[in-house]
Amino acid sequence: MQTDAVVSGSLRNRLVLILIGGAAVLAIFLFFAVRSYAVQVAQRGQDNILLASVTSMLDAAAFRDGVAEVDIPYAAFSMLNTPADDRVFYAIYQDDTFLSGYNDLGLLGENQGGQPSFQTRDYRDTSVREVTASRTLIGADQRTEIQIALAQTQDALADTLDQISRNAALLGLGFFALAVALSIWATQATISPLSRLTNSVTRRGPQDLSPFTKPVPQEMAPLVTSLNSLMGRLDQSLSQSEDFIAEAAHRVRTPLATVRSYAEATLLRVNKEENREAMRSMVKAIDESSRAAGQLLDHAMITFRADHLEREELDLVDLVRDLILRLTPVADMKDLTLDLRGEDTVTYAGDPILLQNALRNMIDNAMKYSPADGAIEISVRSEPVVAVTVSDQGPGFPLDEIETLTARFTRGRNADNTIGSGLGLTIAQDVATAHGGEITLRNREEGGACVILSL
Amino acid sequence: MKFLLVEDNSDLAGAIASRLRLDGHVVDNAETLEDAKAFVSTGEYDMILLDIMLPDGDGRTFLKEHRASDLDTPVIVLTARSQVSDRIGSLDLGADDYLTKPFDHAELEARCRAVLRRKSGNARVTIETGGVVFDSVAGSLKVAGEPINLRNRELRLLELFLNAPGQVFSKQKLADRLFSYDDDVSENAIEVYVGRLRKHLEKSDLGITTLRGLGYRLDHAD
């Protein structure tokens, strides 16, 4: 009867995924932001040195004897030294005419307003940073423009960038790890009131329908309120149906009892055999209907309880002993003896009410089919599995029906003269199943039926 | 025996009472808890038969109060609910036994006897006649001073005869008293029990006479 919830995703996973996904995007963004900022800063550093270098070259240019001379100062190149031994290329032009250096280096576009211009480009199969700057030399009635292109490979810069990228990646990873830890913690903290509520619902016994009173977060309050109102209604309808069943049983059984008592009393006074036979049939019919009603109610109760077993530690031998004590007066009436055999204590965790009901039905059955002066043997053992065996000295089960006898409302072919609803073994079977065990029926070699409830 | 029957349904109460009276018992009927308390405080009873659902309350409260008082009159609860938990509840509260309605009077008798046997100190009803001493509560029989073990059906058969000496019982009547209605009884079975009882009574002055076609009768052998 238990219906599993239809699960669509998990709140916890959803929350963790969103938080971790967000953290990953942020970490990647952080990585690129740091890296691009670092690239800018490093590039600006190289540019400044290149500019300083080219400026010092231009500064050294002068007219000498009417000829423009460019003397490259030593410092101009030495300041460009890098740990990666970057190569430096230069080209000097005068009024767009190549003077000296690498003639394939070329100038960069237009120099707007004499401002130096920078560019990163490929040169001789490698990436270089190039600066072009110019200076106008003014001499006596002369005017010429010196233009210098200076380029430097970017190996040192690339090294620096690698290093910075590594650090940025580490930073990003660290941030990510921290964010993951934080999001798991946050998820845990958010979900935990829900888990606590779930736990306290699950731990409840089947009879506990009282409202929840423990404080819950504001967002869960509507859920708990609905849950409480649902349980309230359930409690009400359960107790209503319990009352109803009790009332119905009372209404049915009381008049039956009246009829039975009168029939019995009449039977004692009537002498005519056909009247007596009618009275006997009447009593038999009453017994049959009341027994059926009782077992139907028991069966319903057992189906209900089997869903929520209330297991407790109990001594099966004690339980059987109580039951035997209770049934002895009835057994006595038939001159039957109930013998308890087997171990002295067998501890088992089970539902006492269900077990008692199952065993009672088994012993009732044995008593019904036992011949007068017979003995019914009830033995409890714990090895190899916990089991209670009830054996009688009756006719035994019809061999071909052994399989079907535990089915609802099935009775053996040889049961025509005894009163029963066919639910007794079904009840025992249901109880066994609820405890993860089974009912085994067999006939004893020396005659008689044997029912084993193994748990 | 003197019974107090606490049962609000007057039809059922009447039926039970008339059945008990047939066996020679005295029965008072209380229909409410109030009445029951009044009866208990004024008279002495051997046994209280208590219904659970009563118009002015739950029979179990009566049971609780009864157990709290000094009286230790045995109580057998008659319940119309089939529920096991209900039965356990009444046993926990101090009922000596319970029966589910409708019940077999033979079973009620058997349970009364079992309860009375458990409760020591009660005045025993013994029948002494023709060299036998019979205690129906303890189920003991002494013939010429010798204790004899009786099985339950032999005991009930003897009780029937002793309670109505000289009366003729047909086999069918005896069968109805000794066997439950779902037993398959042959007239042979009655002969077997009568035979056993005869054997037990051999050394006494009592004898069971067979009246062909009519049944059996307990006679003094003198």
Q: Are residues B109 and B137 in the same domain?
A: no
CB contact under 8 A, A268 and B173: yes
Encode chain A (455 residues) as per-residue pLDDT tens digits. Answer: 456 778 888 888 888 888 889 889 998 998 899 888 888 888 898 899 999 998 898 888 888 887 888 888 888 888 888 888 888 999 998 888 888 888 888 887 755 566 888 888 888 888 899 998 888 888 777 888 888 889 999 888 888 888 888 988 898 899 899 988 998 898 888 888 888 888 888 877 666 777 888 888 888 888 889 988 988 888 787 777 667 766 777 778 888 888 888 888 888 788 788 888 888 888 888 888 887 877 777 777 777 667 667 788 889 999 899 889 888 888 888 888 999 988 889 999 988 888 888 898 899 889 888 887 889 999 999 888 899 999 998 888 877 777 777 665 566 655 555 555 567 888 888 889 888 888 888 888 888 888 999 88
The whole domain housing A268 covers: 208-308
Is residue A344 domain-shared with residue A447, that is, in the same domain? Answer: yes
Same domain, B105 and B131: no
Residues A156 and A21 in one domain: yes
| DSSP state at residue A210 | P
Name chain B contacts of A256, Cβ cutoff 8 Å: 101-102
CATH of the domain at B194: 1.10.10.10
Of the candidates A255, A267, A357, which has its C-beta nearest B176's C-beta?
A267
B68 lies in the same domain as B17:
yes
- Same domain as A350, residue A301: no
Which residue of chain B is at minimal alpha-carbon distance from A266? B19
Chain B residue numbers touching A265 (CB-CB < 8 A): 15, 18-19, 22
For position A177, what pLDDT does the model report? 92
Looking at A308, A327, A348, the residue that finishes a domain is A308
Residue B124 has what pLDDT?
61
Q: pLDDT confidence of B49, banded at 50, 70, 90?
A: very high
Q: Are residues B172 and B209 in the same domain?
A: yes
- A423 CB neighbours in chain B (<8 A) are none
Pair A190, A183: CB distance under 8 Å: no
- Nearest CB partner across the interface for B151, out of A250, A335, A368: A335
- The neighbouring-strand residues paired with A89 are A151
Q: What ipTM, to 2 d.p.?
A: 0.78
Residues A237 and A280 in one domain: yes
Q: Sorting pLDDT into bands at 50, 70 and 90, what band is B162?
A: confident
Residue that is last in its domain, among A308, A338, A353: A308
Distance CA A403, CA A419 (A): 21
Tell me which chain B residues have a C-beta less than 8 angstroms from the C-beta of A257. 12, 15-16, 78, 80, 101-103
> CA A45, A47, A51: angle at the middle one, nearest 5?
120
Question: What whole-number distance in Å separates Cα of residue A105 and Cα of residue A92?
Answer: 10
Q: Hey, which residues does A454 pair with through a beta bridge?
A: A387, A438
In chain B, the residue whose alpha carbon lies closest to the alpha carbon of A249 is B81
Provide the domain limits for residue B213: 126-220
Give me the residue from B19, B153, B176 closest to A335, CB to CB: B153
Question: In chain B, what is the straight-line distance between the N-terminal and C-terminal CA atoms, in Å?
Answer: 31
Please report residues of A whose CB lies closer than 8 A to that of B86. 246
Is A181 within a domain? Answer: no
By the 8 A CB rule, do A364 and A424 touch? yes
Residues A293 and A321 in one domain: no
Neighbours of B198 (CB within 10 A): 15
Same-domain pairing of A243 and A323: no
| Mean pLDDT score of chain B | 83
Q: Which of A261, A373, A419 sits opposite B15 (nearest CB)?
A: A261
Residues A330 and A427 occupy one common structural domain: yes
Cα-Cα-Cα-Cα torsion A176, A179, A181, A185, nearest 10 degrees, comes to -160
- Same domain for A319 and A293, yes or no, is no
Coil, helix or strand at residue A203: helix
Within 8 A of B98 by CB-CB distance, chain A residues are none
Query: Of B67, B93, B118, which closes a domain?
Result: B118
Q: Which of B83, B118, B153 is the C-terminal boundary of a domain?
A: B118
Does the beta-carbon distance from A417 to B180 stay under 8 Å?
no
The pLDDT of residue B82: 57
Q: Is residue A81 part of a domain?
A: yes
CATH assignment at residue B95: 3.40.50.2300
Do B65 and B149 fall within a single domain? no
CB contacts under 8 A, B 123-152 vs A, are 151-152
Q: Which residues of A touch B84 (CB under 8 A)?
A: 298, 301, 353, 356-357
Tell me whether residue A1 is in a domain. Answer: no
Contact A257 B105 (CB under 8 A): no
| Domain identity same for B146 and B108 | no
The residue of B181, B185, B192, B214 whose CB has the most chain A CBs within 10 angstroms, and thus the best one to mutate to test that interface, is: B181
- Asked if B163 has any chain A CB less than 8 Å from its own CB, the reply is no
The C-alpha atoms of residue B159 and residue B174 are separated, in whole angstroms, by 11
Q: What is the 3-state secondary structure (H, E, C) of B115-169?
A: HHHHCCCCCCCEEEECCEEEECCCCEEEECCEEECCCHHHHHHHHHHHHCCCCCE
Both A158 and A292 in a single domain?
A: no
Rounded distance between C-alpha atoms, residue A148 and residue A126, angstroms: 20
Residue A50 located in a structural domain: yes
Number of domain units in chain B: 2
How far lies A172's CA from each of A23, A31, A37, A161, A164, in Å? 10, 6, 15, 16, 12
Task: Tell me what pLDDT residue A412 has.
Answer: 60
- Shared-domain flag, residues B186 and B87: no
The verdict on residue A193 lying in a domain is: no
What pLDDT, on the 0 to 100 scale, is given for residue B30? 92
A23 lies in the same domain as A120: yes
| Cα–Cα dist A287/A279, whole Å | 12
Q: Which residues of B touch A255 (CB under 8 A)?
A: 11-12
Size of interface A-B (CB pairs under 8 A): 136
A131 contacts A116 by C-beta, under 8 angstroms: yes
A317 and A277 co-located in one domain? no
CA angle, A345 then A350 then A351, to 5°:
120
Do residue B108 and residue B205 come from a single domain? no
Contacts of A431 (CB under 8 A, 6+ apart): A302, A306, A351, A354, A355, A357, A358, A453
Domain count, chain A: 3
Say if A3 falls within a structural domain: no
Beta partners for B50? Answer: B6, B77
Partners of residue B101 in chain A, C-beta under 8 Å: 253-254, 256-257, 290
Q: Which of A422, A414, A340, A425 is nearest to A375 (CA)?
A: A340
Q: What is the rounded distance in angstroms from the CA atom of residue B26 to the CA atom of residue B37?
A: 18
How far off is chain A from B222, nearest CA to CA, in Å? 30
Judgement on whether residues B6 and B101 belong to the same structural domain of the protein? yes
Domain boundary among B63, B83, B118: B118
Nearest-by-Cβ selection for A333 from B15, B22, B180: B180
Which 83-112 residues of chain B touch chain A by CB within 8 A? 83-86, 88, 97, 100-107, 110-111
Q: Is residue A455 located within the same domain as residue A316?
A: yes
Q: Which residues touch A81 (CB under 8 Å, ≥6 apart)?
A: none
- In this predicted structure, the answer to whether residue B88 has a pLDDT above a threshold of 80 is no
- Nearest 5°: the CA angle B107, B111, B113 is 115
Q: Taking CB atoms and an 8 Å cutoff, what residues of chain A touch B184?
A: 417
Q: Do A283 and B181 touch (CB under 8 A)?
A: yes
DSSP β-ladder status, B206-211 and A67-69: unpaired
Answer left, alpha or beta for residue B117, where phi above 0 means left and psi between -120 and 50 means alpha.
Answer: alpha
Which tokens hold the place of A382? 């714990």
CB atoms < 10 A from the CB of B91, how many? 16
**CA distance, residue A407 to nearest chain B CA (Å):** 22
Q: Are residues B130 and B113 in the same domain?
A: no
Same domain, B71 and B172: no
Q: Do B16 and B106 belong together in one domain?
A: yes
Q: Do A253 and B85 touch (CB under 8 A)?
A: no
DSSP string, A183-196: HHHHHHHHHHHHHH
Final residue in a domain of this structure, among A290, A308, A326: A308
Query: Domain containing A228 — which CATH number?
Result: 1.10.287
